[in-house]
Structure 1
């Protein structure tokens, strides 16, 4: 069975709680939003892959080699995770 058909039932069975920012707290999800913006601009846009497994391998490689070890983070005083 395809993942996209299983996901809604899995979410329902887990009964997740929706994450909502507190009133006036617009930066609550800023870290996650910044990651996905960077991820899309550096990897997804312009990458033409045909199979799901190809994309899965590219995403893993991007996160493990580029994002976690080479990218500098302003929250870490412009150091990489390894340098911090």
Structure 2
């Protein structure tokens, strides 16, 4: 297997900005979805648990996004067989 050179950057300024926008949009969507599933009538608890749940799911989304990007880069740069 070929190792990437230490000088090769995996993230540019554009990919970081795109990631921030995607992750923020995913968090907002998940927060909106999760608020409806919190079994409480207290608005503070609904906000707290909706945000905490959305935060966990957003972390998984961010990891999946980076794994997808790495696999895509590897497949794109691999020589055709």
Which of the five TM-score ranges fits, normalised by the shorter chain?
Answer: 0.3 to 0.5
If you compute each CA radius of gyration, which structure gives the higher value, 1 or 2?
2
Q: TM-score, normalised by structure 2?
A: 0.39
By relative contact order (CA 8 Å, sep 6+), the higher-ranking structure is: 2
Higher share in helix: 2
